[in-house]
């Protein structure tokens, strides 16, 4: 494996990025949540066809009938009929950082499951952040532990992902880490360090898009999917990598040219990953700049270069050279 990094951790400081640094992964988290469900299914703790109504009915009154029969496979493939965005001011106002976000996830689930469906279950694909929050809430209800604890126990620890965590890098005692940057209201590119204002989405939404990891640890995760390792049974890998109701979205993965692909952003970071199960290659590229129109072509080119050269490639935009 060849690795390469370039750039600085934040635009107003000279500290260079390193191979040990952690990167926010955004919606790449979705495949991790799906992998967690798979591990729990194999352990006999849940079933793929556990329904929203049977698991969350006692916690969430007035679930619409259209959603009661939806199960993990629907939620993880965006086929439950849930809308893409279900956020009102109350949902957006959930705490940015919570030690235990189970109650907040039920708030999200309660709101989402009362909205009119976008279309019939299984027939309608609608990319839904709330679907992954609901799946996490179901795990939490069944297993009696927060999604974060379950993720550490069943995914991160077995794969040796010691750097993996939740929220923006640097939130805990991880030492100096890259800082996300955004340009929301002006042309100025502004650092958003953790603990100072908005540095990530609320913790309630983490199962849909808020993990971080070093790129070597991320590659270890991708390689488990690439190699269909004994981390899961062969039939489980096959299920995870196959869209259960047609289309090109499996369980946390888009199918792209015979491989598995996903990107992720919280508007302050951007990352892409690709797993080629035929050529047996894994690649990741990330940057600490959330300006999608600017960085997406750069990061995607880096990703494809990594696939061609069989290397791990990190391309933070040269923040010190960006006009502010």
How would you list the strands of the sheet with 270-276, edge to edge?
A: 254-256, 259-265, 270-276, 281-287
Supply 31's token pair: 């495949």
Q: Is the pLDDT of residue 4 over 90?
A: no
CATH number of 2-321: 3.40.710.10
- Closest to 51 in 3D by CA, of 35, 65, 32: 65
- The average pLDDT across 44-65 equals 96
Tell me how far apart the alpha carbons of residues 179 and 290 are, in angstroms, rounded to a whole number: 11
3-state class of 166 per DSSP? strand
233: CB partners within 8 A, 6+ apart? 42
Let me know if 111 is exposed, middle or buried by CB neighbors in 10 A (0-12, 13-18, 19+).
Answer: middle
Give the DSSP letter of residue 126.
-
Let me know if 183 is exposed, middle or buried by CB neighbors in 10 A (0-12, 13-18, 19+).
Answer: middle
Supply 116's token pair: 């009119």
Tell me how far apart the alpha carbons of residues 34 and 260 are, in angstroms, rounded to a whole number: 14
Q: Is the pLDDT of residue 78 over 90?
A: yes
* Ramachandran bin of 262, using left for φ above 0, alpha for ψ from -120 to 50, beta for the remaining angles: beta
Give the global pTM: 0.93
Give the DSSP letter of residue 321.
G
Other Cβ atoms closer than 10 A to 318: 13
Q: Is the pLDDT of residue 309 over 60?
A: yes
Q: Can you give the pLDDT at residue 172?
A: 75
The string of pLDDT tens digits covering residues 259-276 is: 999 999 999 999 999 999
- Closest to 15 in 3D by CA, of 320, 321, 323: 320
**Which runs of consecutive H residues, i.e. helices, occur in 115-231?**
129-143, 147-151, 206-209, 215-227
Phi and psi, residue 323, nearest 5°: -65, 140
Q: Which residue has the higher pLDDT, 132 or 302?
A: 132
Tell me how far apart the alpha carbons of residues 317 and 324 are, in angstroms, rounded to a whole number: 14
Q: Can you give the pLDDT at residue 84?
A: 84
């Amino acid at each position: 494996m060849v690795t390469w990094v370039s750039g600085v951790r934040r635009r107003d400081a000279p500290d260079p990025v390193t191979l040990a640094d952690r990167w926010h992964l955004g919606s790449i988290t979705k495949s991790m949540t799906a992998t967690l469900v798979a591990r729990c299914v194999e352990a006999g703790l849940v079933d793929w066809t556990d329904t929203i109504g049977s698991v969350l009915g006692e916690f969430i009154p007035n679930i619409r009938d259209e959603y009661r029969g939806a199960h993990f496979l629907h939620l993880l493939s965006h086929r439950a009929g849930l809308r893409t965005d279900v956020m009102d001011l109350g949902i957006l106002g959930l705490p940015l950082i919570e030690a235990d976000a189970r109650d907040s996830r039920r708030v999200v689930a309660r709101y989402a499951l009362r909205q009119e469906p976008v279309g019939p279950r299984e027939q309608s694909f609608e990319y839904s952040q709330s679907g992954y929050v609901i799946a996490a809430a179901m795990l939490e209800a069944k297993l009696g532990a927060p999604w974060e604890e379950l993720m550490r126990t069943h995914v991160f620890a077995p794969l040796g992902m010691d750097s993996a965590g939740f929220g923006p890098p640097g939130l805990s005692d991880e030492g100096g880490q890259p800082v996300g940057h955004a340009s929301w209201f002006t042309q100025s590119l502004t650092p958003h360090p953790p603990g100072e204002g908005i540095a990530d989405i609320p913790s309630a939404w983490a199962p849909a898009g808020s993990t971080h990891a070093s790129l070597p640890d991320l590659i270890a995760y991708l390689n488990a999917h690439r190699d269909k390792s004994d981390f899961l049974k062969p039939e489980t890998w096959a299920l995870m990598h196959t869209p259960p109701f047609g289309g090109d979205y499996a369980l946390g993965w888009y199918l792209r040219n015979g491989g598995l692909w996903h990107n992720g952003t919280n508007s302050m970071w951007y990352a892409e990953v690709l797993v080629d199960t035929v050529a047996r290659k894994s690649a990741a590229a990330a940057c600490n700049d959330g300006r999608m129109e600017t960085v997406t072509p750069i990061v995607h080119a880096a990703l494809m270069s990594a696939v061609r050269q069989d290397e791990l490639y990190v391309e933070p935009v040269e923040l010190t050279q960006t006009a502010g």
